Amino acid sequence: MPVISKKGRMMPASPIRKLVPYADAAKKRGIKVFHLNIGQPDIATPKIALDAVRNFDQKVVEYSHSAGILSYRKKLVDYYARFDIHITADDIIIGAGGSEAILFAMNSCMDPGDEIIIPEPFYANYNGFAVNAGIKVIPIPSKIETGFALPPIADFEKAITPRTKAIIICNPNNPTGYLYSREELETLKAIVLKHDLFLFADEVYREFCYDGKKHFSVMHLEGLDENVVLIDSVSKRYSACGIRIGAMISKNKELMATALKFAQARLSPPTLGQVAAEAAIDTPDEYFVNVLKEYVARRNVVVDFINQMPGAFCPNPSGAFYVVARLPIDDSDRFCKWLLEDFSYQNQTVMLAPATGFYATQGRGLDEVRISYVLKVEDLKSSMNCLQEALKVYPGRK
Ligand SMILES: Cc1ncc(COP(=O)(O)O)c(C=O)c1O
């Protein structure tokens, strides 16, 4: 039999989806499973975006320009200007989700064997993208005690080697919800300039900032035009994960010319997705006002509930729709599986993501879980009740 590639064998399965068979089995047993494990929001996609697809009246669904439909990219220029991010249509390449944009960025900036520094815990799929591009992830720890703030500059310095080519941050962060401050980004700027690195900033949760806090983008940093790559997506912004539209943005012309070659090799981003995304830019502000109000209410339910559970701790993050909470448990993988296989309360249980999958360092995240607050408040309250009852009887309780 022909041998599967080393790369294929190294490719990690999604740590978030690996518990799905246990959830399916629980559902077969008649148990209601609250899904707090994935970032699939239950918020409705704006009607304006769906209508654009319904009204699509061309006879052929053609390939678009490899960098994306020009009218869409031009409209994106206006969208970013609202956030004081000033770019041109040529600084944008549309990808099939932020996922493809990350791959374009890694493949355009880094060679096999190069290293990328990532504060952990981090979005687990960065591991898969890194394997795809043949690059090595170098994690540096952020800590729950600080709410997962940016690790100290000394930790970055220690991690830098001659193979270091880039740093990636996610702001606001998945999985921690942490929103980086201007000062933290200025710190990163100094490291990036000192060592001549690329700075990838995954800002797919830009709209989701709470408590009156404003998002500070890497694009606001002065003097970093050649280094900064912005990763974006409409998946979460418009609750439109399935239209598969994201973007890679940089003012570095040589980099964008390189990325375009990768974009050309896959011909085109999805045409209908771009039609929806272009229309979505006109989503009324009111939509976001309501969405943010809803997410703040949800976050408060989760954070307040967890912090009154004995032995548990949950920071109160200012962005995205995730928290990483510490629970009095021996092993988060075992706990999350047990919740589905062996536990129910009033015929209900919760599906959580073990935080181990968000760490590259073996042994970290054992007593932490990621909770996505993507369900309505009522369901979140029931979920938190389940979790509270589960912690009372879990055999591996610490
Ligand atoms: C931090 C982060 N980056 C990128 C993505 C990729 O999203 P998409 O490919 O749907 O744009 C996600 C999706 O959950 C994410 O959470």
Encode pLDDT of 336-378 as tens digits. Answer: 999 999 999 999 999 999 999 999 999 999 999 999 999 999 9
What separation in angstroms does the CA of 166 have from each of 156, 192, 251, 367? 11, 8, 16, 30
Q: Does residue 382 sit in the same domain as residue 319?
A: yes
Q: Kindly state if the Cβ of 270 falls inside 6 Å of ligand 1.
A: no
CATH number at residue 343: 3.90.1150.10
Q: Kindly state if the Cβ of 123 falls inside 6 Å of ligand 1.
A: yes
Mutate to test the pocket of ligand 1, among 103, 171, 235, 274 (most ligand atoms within 8 A of CB): 235
Q: How far apart are CA 182 and CA 186, in angstroms?
A: 6
Label the pairing between strands 368-372 and 115-120.
unpaired
What confidence score (pLDDT) does residue 24 get? 97
Question: Of 222, 225, 256, 216, nearest to 67 (Cα)?
Answer: 256
Domain assignment present for 185: yes
Q: How far apart are CA 319 and CA 208, in angstroms?
A: 5
Ligand 1 centroid–CA 146 distance in Å is 24
- The strand order across the sheet containing 136-141 reads 92-95, 246-249, 228-233, 198-202, 164-170, 115-120, 136-141
- % pLDDT > 70, the chain: 100
**pLDDT over 90 at 17, yes or no:** no
| Inter-residue contact 311 to 298 (CB < 8 Å) | no
Label the pairing between strands 322-326 and 368-372.
antiparallel
Q: Kindly state if the Cβ of 204 falls inside 6 Å of ligand 1.
A: yes
Domain assignment present for 398: no
Query: What one-letter code names the amino acid at 90?
Result: D
Q: Does residue 263 sit in the same domain as residue 309?
A: no
Of the pLDDT bands very low, low, confident and very high (cuts 50, 70, 90), residue 84 is very high
What confidence score (pLDDT) does residue 92 get? 98
Return the residue matching tokens 């490719």: 11
Q: Kindly state if the Cβ of 37 falls inside 6 Å of ligand 1.
A: no
Question: Of 209, 177, 213, 241, nearest to 373 (Cα)?
Answer: 177
pLDDT for 165-213, tens place per residue? 999 999 999 999 999 999 999 999 999 999 999 999 999 999 999 999 9
Q: Does residue 219 sit in the same domain as residue 323?
A: no
Q: Which of 280, 300, 318 is the last residue of a domain?
A: 280
Assign 3-state DSSP to the chain and report helix, strand, coil percentages, each to 5.
40, 15, 40
| Inter-residue contact 140 to 286 (CB < 8 Å) | no
Mutate to test the pocket of ligand 1, among 236, 274, 322 (most ligand atoms within 8 A of CB): 236
Q: Does residue 117 sit in the same domain as residue 68?
A: yes
Q: Kindly state if the Cβ of 241 falls inside 6 Å of ligand 1.
A: yes
CA angle centred on 194, ends 193 and 198, rounded to 5°: 45
The ligand 1 atom nearest the CA atom of 205: 1
Ligand 1 centroid–CA 297 distance in Å is 23
Domain assignment present for 338: yes
Ligand 1 centroid–CA 342 distance in Å is 31
Q: Which of 234, 253, 280 is the last residue of a domain?
A: 280
What confidence score (pLDDT) does residue 332 get? 97
Q: Does residue 38 sit in the same domain as residue 54?
A: no
Its domain, for residue 87, covers 47-280
Report how many domains make up the chain: 2
Q: Which of 234, 250, 280 is the last residue of a domain?
A: 280
Mean of per-residue pLDDT scores for the chain: 96
Ligand 1 centroid–CA 204 distance in Å is 7
Mutate to test the pocket of ligand 1, among 174, 178, 180 (most ligand atoms within 8 A of CB): 174
Q: Does residue 262 sit in the same domain as residue 311?
A: no
- Angle separating helix axes 377-393 and 285-307, nearest 10 degrees: 20
Q: Kindly state if the Cβ of 91 falls inside 6 Å of ligand 1.
A: no
Q: Does residue 174 sit in the same domain as residue 68?
A: yes
| Inter-residue contact 202 to 98 (CB < 8 Å) | yes
Ligand 1 centroid–CA 229 distance in Å is 15
Ligand 1 centroid–CA 195 distance in Å is 28
Q: Does residue 70 sit in the same domain as residue 32?
A: no
Q: Does residue 190 sit in the same domain as residue 230?
A: yes
CATH number at residue 240: 3.40.640.10
Q: Does residue 153 sit in the same domain as residue 104?
A: yes
Of the pLDDT bands very low, low, confident and very high (cuts 50, 70, 90), residue 15 is confident
Domain assignment present for 1: no
* Average pLDDT for 201-226: 97
Domain assignment present for 122: yes
**pLDDT over 90 at 160, yes or no:** yes
Q: Where are the alpha helices (DSSP H) in the chain?
A: 6-10, 20-28, 47-54, 70-81, 97-109, 125-133, 153-159, 182-195, 253-265, 271-280, 285-307, 332-341, 377-393
Partners of 92 in the beta sheet?
249
Three-state SS at 325: strand
Q: Does residue 54 sit in the same domain as residue 39?
A: no
Q: Does residue 55 sit in the same domain as residue 40?
A: no
Q: How far apart are CA 65 and CA 103, in angstroms?
A: 19
Mutate to test the pocket of ligand 1, among 38, 99, 173, 358 (most ligand atoms within 8 A of CB): 99
